[in-house]
Amino acid sequence: MTDPKAIQPSELDQLPDRDPEETAEWRASLDAVTKAAGPHRAAYLMRRTLERAEGAGVALPKLLETDYVNTIPTGAEPAVDGDEELEQRITAWNRWNAAAMVTRGSKHGVGGHIATFASAAWLYETGFNHFFRGKEGDGSGDQLYVQGHASPGIYARAFLDGRLDESHLDNFRREAGGNGLPSYPHPRRLPWLWEFPTVSMGLGPISAIYQARFNRYLTSRGIKDVSESHVWAFLGDGEMDEPESTTALTLASREGLDNLTFVINCNLQRLDGPVRANFKIVQELEAQFRGAGWNVVKTLWGTAWDELFQLDTTGALVRRLREVPDAQVQTYQTRDAAYIREDFFGKDPALAEMAKLLSDDKILECFHFSRGGHEARKVYAAYKAALAHKGAPTVILAQTVKGHTLGEGFASKNANHQMKKLTVDEFKGMRDLLGLPIKDSDFVDGVVPYGHPGADSPEVRYLQERRAALGGPAPARRLHPVGPLPAPADKAFAAFDKGSGSQSVATTMAFVRLVKDLVRDKETGKRWVPIVPDEARTFGMESLFPSLGIYSPKGQTYEPVDRDQLMYYKEAKNGQILNEGITEAGSMADFIAAASSYATHGEAMIPFYIFYSMFGWQRTADQMWQLGDQLGRGFLVGATAGRTTLTGEGLQHADGHSPAIAATNPAALTYDPAFAYEVAAIVKEGLRRMYGEAAPGEDQDVFYYLTVYNEPMPQPAKPSAPGVDQGIVKGLYRFNTAESAGLTPAANAPRLQLLGSGTAIHWALKAQKLLAEEWGVAADVWSATSWTELRRDALDADAALLRGEERVPFVRQALQGAEGPVLAVSDYMRQVPDQIAQWVEQDWSSLGADGFGLSDTREAARRHFGVDAESIVVAALAQLAKRGEVQAASVKEARERYGL
């Protein structure tokens, strides 16, 4: 056996060494440097060599972590194109007013956050003055995802430029009076200012990535050229722990989204303490983003550190910065020079010698104030580098101090996220530090004054001139003057009115067939955005692949394995389908970008996102809430819906509750259609309401949720009775009576009303027949297309009654005069139909699929949950027996006959 010690490194290499002698020379050189100058010098040379190789295009694995220093050295920083002194004064006013607004609001107990904006002020101000393109220039401008906790600083700047006044600031977090400001970026609450909701944390990062991607999609498809738009996402270092923050990083690099920049405010603190107490979050993030293929720019240290780095001839300072954990850096922020001399410099003899050359003031300047994220020149250089980089997205890691300029009581303190106010003395100290012309006499009765240099001051004129040059105010949301989209031809919808005859068709397939017709429409077809999370074949959508194509920025660089088949897998640069892979979160981020394109880009798009209903609202309800906040429009389609229709899949696939979750979202119009013609009618109405001529007072900023099923059933023709179309939209109509079903009940037969939604209506129809033929009971069957819309209408009627207006809920109008009790049934938990119980005048009872799902046949599952036709019959007889309309013995007899 060969001695392992005798094996040369080249012999362990999979690749042959063409020149072992040259390789040996390189190794010898490295050994010599290590021996003569030490391992740190050798590591330095290796890093620089790897960086050089990367810059020269040599195919090597990327260096994932660099020294804990700025990426752009001071000597390479470009001059700031502007008046730095004026920008300093503008930033000072913004800092002051942000803190004053939150402090004044604290008297009302509404809270607010001060420390985040204090750390990030220069990150925003530099962008506003030099980089962020507004909505009034060419194109769509830039898209800004503002860190939610920094909102007071954005309001303060809007106050300075005249878009807000003192009454607005005094109503921060007090919106009920109509002149207030929402706590965080909420477009629904302040639609002229905010574009994107960014709290809950983590949703901003993934949304920004998919927004940048959707911009490319619009351009590639020829809808609108938005290639000049840049997406800026401002994030916290603690926020990066959220899984949504990093889940799509590789998508951004894979698709070369150089129209995207993340700016991560690395103040090293999250809500309760350090982000990485015993580690270094900047280094961790650098490795994570580099590994994902991003361009990384670190701006960590201010110019005060330049002298220290020049003195670092041995590399000891860089080594020490690399090894000190974040929590200790935070501690240095709060300690005196003597402590820093001992704890930071005293750990290394070379650093101890360096410290002798530094005054206490110099040490405190470096460790208390001088951070890369606090200097306009450093931030400007980072932003310029981000825009200049092509072929990949950029992340800027900017080190700051949380609570910067707010005084010793705030800066770097663990509790500063929860600290809502400064004392008058602390404000006076802040005033002196910032050099603001605010007099002691301006503090009347202990109330902190707002500060403003005047509408015609140099600061305000400069601010407005810079914004005018960049295309108008920012942030801003604009509704472009676009008219309603033309309605598709009725033919596409009417095709479902005649039913399917003897052919069995699932409502999932009916929806897909409808969309196939709608995307052919000459006027609006190109505006449909089909979104699916790698389940298109499950939903029968593969026929759309060759006709619409799957969007890919690279097109199709391979020959698909099924190229010789009719429905082959086709990718294209101008593809219309967004097939996102196994990611509901990514698909929802896609949907949100498309659903709000009417405002972001002035281009109304019609997204429909089809997904396993169990994995939609349950997994991504937070994003659905974000969608509602962002005033998005479109169709969410929960396919393979219901607790008992998905045979064999079992507990985690059996959806018995998505309509209940959807009902909690005020912007979601939730429908559970039973028949193909209902699907068509709901989509037609949705297109009118969201994209067409809205009725007076009608909210267009809604989205639709439709549950559709994978159970093929014969699709009936639409009833010809009056009011069917209205009933479908409002949520309830009578599908048939016992008589119209041909059951000919006796004249004095007991009667009841069966309300069913979705696939459950088929069980109700079977029960209707059993009741008539075996028990002499007449039942009318109603299709409840939307329990939720019925409830909302009833709630509106209740509210109107409190205002002195008489209004009868639609559900009561529809059921008026209907004989007998009401029995409601659905494939969901009973609370879904029970939403309307209190407004039904008849005796009410319901059946539903409560509990966990299970794997079995549809029939066995329905018997298990007690929602099959036979169970409906027994429940109906029990209701009638309570009323004395059938014999009590009939209930027992029915149970025994059906084996319940």
Q: 9-57: per-residue pLDDT in tens?
A: 444 455 668 788 988 999 999 999 999 998 888 888 988 888 888 788 8
Among the listed residues 692, 680, 674, 843, the one whose alpha carbon sits nearest the alpha carbon of residue 753: 843
Q: Are 196 and 143 in contact (CB under 8 A)?
A: yes
Q: For helices 676-691 and 507-518, give the axis angle rounded to 10 degrees.
A: 40
Q: For helices 869-882 and 888-898, give the axis angle rounded to 10 degrees.
A: 170
Q: Tell me: pLDDT of 2 over 50.
A: no
Among the listed residues 506, 497, 515, 507, the one whose alpha carbon sits nearest the alpha carbon of residue 716: 497
Nearest-angstrom CA–CA distance, 471 and 492: 42
Q: Are 464 and 86 in contact (CB under 8 A)?
A: no
372-414 pLDDT tens trace: 999 999 999 999 999 999 999 999 999 999 989 887 777 756 6
* pLDDT at residue 56, rounded to an integer: 85
Helix (H, G, I), strand (E, B), or coil: what is residue 650?
coil
Among the listed residues 294, 132, 297, 295, the one whose alpha carbon sits nearest the alpha carbon of residue 228: 132
* pLDDT at residue 412, rounded to an integer: 59
Starting at the edge strand that comes first in sequence, how are the strands of the sheet with 844-847 ordered?
733-736, 778-783, 751-756, 822-825, 844-847
Q: Strand pairing partners for 103?
A: none
Nearest-angstrom CA–CA distance, 105 and 101: 6
Q: Are 608 and 531 in contact (CB under 8 A)?
A: yes
Q: Strand pairing partners for 274?
A: 269
Nearest-angstrom CA–CA distance, 879 and 883: 7
* Lowest-pLDDT range of 692-701, 734-743, 859-868: 692-701
Helix (H, G, I), strand (E, B), or coil: what is residue 394?
strand
Helix (H, G, I), strand (E, B), or coil: what is residue 172?
strand
Q: Tell me: pLDDT of 80 over 50.
A: yes
What DSSP letter does each residue of 211-242 carry, written as one string?
HHHHHHHHHHTTS---TT--EEEEEETGGGGS
Element (H, E) at 40: helix 39-55
751-792 pLDDT tens trace: 999 999 999 999 999 999 999 999 999 999 999 999 999 999
What's the mean pLDDT when you consider all of the chain? 94
596-615 pLDDT tens trace: 999 999 999 999 999 999 99
Helix (H, G, I), strand (E, B), or coil: what is residue 637?
strand
Q: Tell me: pLDDT of 334 over 60.
A: yes
Q: Report the half-sphere exposure of 844 (CA within 13 A, side-chain side).
A: 14
Q: Report the half-sphere exposure of 338 (CA within 13 A, side-chain side).
A: 0
Nearest-angstrom CA–CA distance, 554 and 100: 51
Q: Tell me: pLDDT of 587 over 60.
A: yes
Q: Are 894 and 874 in contact (CB under 8 A)?
A: yes
Burial 130-148 (b: 16+ CB within 10 A, else e): bbbbbbeeebbbbbbbbbb
Among the listed residues 436, 327, 370, 398, the one whose alpha carbon sits nearest the alpha carbon of residue 120: 398
Strand duo 550-551 + 571-572: pairing: parallel
Residue type, 879: Q
Q: What angle do CA 724, 729, 730 make, to 5 degrees?
A: 95
Q: For residues 166-181, give the mean pLDDT.
A: 93
Higher pLDDT: 366 or 417? It is: 366
Nearest-angstrom CA–CA distance, 877 and 767: 11
* pLDDT at residue 48, rounded to an integer: 85
* pLDDT at residue 694, rounded to an integer: 85
Nearest-angstrom CA–CA distance, 436 and 446: 18
Starting at the edge strand that comes first in sequence, how are the strands of the sheet with 231-236 ordered?
143-145, 231-236, 260-266, 394-399, 295-299
Q: Tell me: pLDDT of 550 over 70.
A: yes
Phi, psi of 434 (to 5 degrees): -85, -10
Among the listed residues 824, 527, 429, 518, the one whose alpha carbon sits nearest the alpha carbon of residue 659: 824
Nearest-angstrom CA–CA distance, 452 and 204: 31
Compute how many other C-beta atoms are within 10 angstroms of the C-beta atom of residue 310. Answer: 10
Element (H, E) at 260: strand 260-266
Nearest-angstrom CA–CA distance, 208 and 197: 11
Residue with tokens 């603001």: 436
H-assigned helices in 324-359: 326-332, 337-343, 349-356
Residue with tokens 């920025």: 553
Nearest-angstrom CA–CA distance, 218 and 596: 13
Q: Residues with Cβ < 8 Å from 685, sequence gap 6 or more?
A: 728, 729
pLDDT band at 116; cut points 50, 70, 90? very high
Show the 3-state SS of 749-772.
CCEEEEEECCCHHHHHHHHHHHHH
686-714 pLDDT tens trace: 999 999 988 888 999 999 999 999 999 99
Nearest-angstrom CA–CA distance, 873 and 779: 10
Compute how many other C-beta atoms are within 10 angstroms of the C-beta atom of residue 31. Answer: 11
408-463 pLDDT tens trace: 777 756 666 666 688 999 999 999 999 999 999 999 998 999 999 999 999 999 99
* pLDDT at residue 236, rounded to an integer: 97
Q: For residues 570-582, give the mean pLDDT.
A: 96
Instruction: Please classify residue 422 by burial: count the beta carbons closer than 10 Å to its beta carbon, then call 0-12 exposed, 13-18 middle and 19+ buried.
Output: buried
- State what percent of residues in the chain have pLDDT above 70: 97
461-476 pLDDT tens trace: 999 999 999 999 999 9
Residue type, 181: L
pLDDT band at 481; cut points 50, 70, 90? low
Q: Which letter does DSSP use for residue 9 in this model?
A: G
Residue with tokens 């009741």: 771
Please say whether the dihedral angle defined by the alpha carbons of residues 891, 893, 896 and 899, taken in this order, is positive or negative: negative
Q: Tell me: pLDDT of 71 over 70.
A: yes
Report CA-CA distances (Å) from 534 to 513, 635, 651.
19, 18, 21
Instruction: Please classify residue 32 by burial: count the beta carbons closer than 10 Å to its beta carbon, then call 0-12 exposed, 13-18 middle and 19+ buried.
Output: exposed
